[in-house]
Amino acid sequence: MLFCEDGSHVGSSLKVPMSSQPSDDLLVDRFRNGDERAADDLYERYAHRLIGLIASRMNERLRTRTEPEDVLQSVLRSVFMGVRSGQYNAPEGATLWNLMSVIAVRKVRNHYRAMLTQRRGAKVFSLDDPESWDEAIDDESLQLFETSFRELIEPLRADEQQIVTLRLQMHTVEEIAQIIGRSRRSVERILQNCRSRLTQQLSQADRNETTE
């Protein structure tokens, strides 16, 4: 067990019988109050499960750049720093797993993004240039890309999702207008609004990532 910087911690703990294990919210409170053994307990509770999730999301090419254990350490640093600062909590009766798994997937995704950017000469995804999405994503990363894309457009209305998806499938604005039965101007306006909102989402995600 490592982390630090400064989610702190170096150590390990003995496993405790499941029936006597404290809840996550109690461990969070104890950790905030300076009980480093609470961090040990959370590590023992989630490290194995997290490393399995992380490893399942990493292909062989990405593993030549970073190990699942390195991503795990980064996840734990982010979680424990957030817990210590009060940014992250475990609601009473709930667990930290959802939070940890989201951070883990985001960390892996960022490693893919860095790898693809380096390999593709900083290709940029653009609604104005659908070819850029196709060029920037290789077969090994397609599944991750599709998952990320679905998450990104989920907050949009159903008709907006359809228009964005059609645009990224290489349809022209005129073709989209014909398919959905809307005017060209209406499609252009919706694409512009979606572009602005998606840009805001990506910017917010990047800001959140820098604080983890």
Q: pLDDT by residue (tens digit) across 183-196? A: 999 999 998 888 78
Contacts of range 40-43, beta carbons closer than 8 Å, 24 or more positions apart: 40/1, 40/9, 40/11, 40/12, 40/13, 41/13, 41/16, 42/96, 43/1, 43/9, 43/12, 43/13, 43/76
Close Cβ partners of 165 (under 8 Å, ≥ 6 residues apart): 153
* Over residues 97-119, mean pLDDT: 80
Of residues 79 and 123, the one with the higher pLDDT is 79
Give the range among 7-21, 72-86, 187-201 with minimum mean pLDDT.
7-21
49 confidence band (pLDDT: 50, 70, 90): very high
DSSP H helices, the chain, are 24-32, 36-57, 60-63, 68-85, 97-119, 131-136, 142-153, 158-168, 173-180, 184-210
- What is the predicted pLDDT for the residue at 86? 79
Give the pLDDT confidence score for residue 70 in this predicted structure: 93
Mean residue pLDDT of the chain comes to: 75
Q: What domains can you pick out in the chain, each with its CATH number?
A: 18-117 (1.10.1740.10), 122-210 (no CATH)
